[in-house]
């Protein structure tokens, strides 16, 4: 029985973390966040079982007000793509703003099948694929819908902006 000798030996992975007493790491709130939370909760009855308290807590932790908000779904997809591209060690990069500008230049339309954005979801297609050592610069990217992007596979096809 290795972990019975002393308190520090029972949970060696918790050493220096203070157990449950304080928040640590990425979930720690800043003093400004704590003060804002106190101001919001000041006028509400502090009974945690009251409906007003629960409703206010729900409002505090939704959407962009949540402590782990990272810019929304579009930004989440963009970060996943960047992670994949870094893994392939492709040269070049582009920002989310450049991608949104490119979609606007194509009038939110797939240049292959000419369907518009609310009907489909435009994805980033590399004209010269990353598997054929293409770059991740914005000049090498065109917006295609998912089905057209899948049909293209790893061929080098450039659909001119006919809008």
pLDDT in tens, 34-81: 888 777 777 655 666 777 777 777 777 777 777 666 677 778 888 888
How would CATH label the architecture of 94-163? Orthogonal Bundle (1.10)
Burial annotation 72-93 (CB, 10 A radius, 16+ → b, else e): eeeeeebeebeeebeeeebeee
pLDDT lower than 50: segments of the chain? 1, 3-5, 15, 17-21
At residue 19, the pLDDT reads 43
Regarding pTM above 0.85, the answer is no
At residue 72, the pLDDT reads 74
CA angle, residues 157, 125, 128, in degrees to nearest 5 = 50
Distance from C-alpha of 44 to C-alpha of 53, rounded to nearest angstrom: 7
Distance from C-alpha of 37 to C-alpha of 42, rounded to nearest angstrom: 9
At residue 21, the pLDDT reads 46
CA angle, residues 81, 86, 88, in degrees to nearest 5 = 100
At residue 76, the pLDDT reads 80
């Amino acid at each position: 029985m290795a972990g019975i000798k002393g308190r520090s030996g029972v949970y060696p992975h918790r050493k220096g973390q203070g157990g449950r007493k304080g928040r640590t790491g990425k979930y720690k709130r800043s003093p400004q966040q704590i003060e804002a939370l106190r101001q919001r909760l000041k006028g509400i009855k502090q009974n945690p079982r009251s409906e007003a308290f629960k409703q206010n807590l729900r409002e505090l932790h939704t959407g962009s007000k949540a402590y782990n908000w990272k810019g929304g779904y579009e930004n989440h997809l963009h970060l996943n793509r960047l992670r994949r591209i870094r893994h392939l060690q492709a040269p070049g990069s582009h920002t989310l703003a450049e991608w949104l500008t490119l979609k606007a230049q194509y009038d939110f339309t797939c240049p292959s099948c000419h369907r518009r954005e609310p009907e489909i979801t435009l994805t980033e297609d590399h004209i010269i694929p990353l598997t054929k050592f293409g770059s991740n610069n914005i000049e090498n990217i065109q917006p295609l819908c998912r089905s057209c992007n899948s049909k293209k596979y790893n061929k080098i096809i450039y659909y001119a902006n006919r809008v």
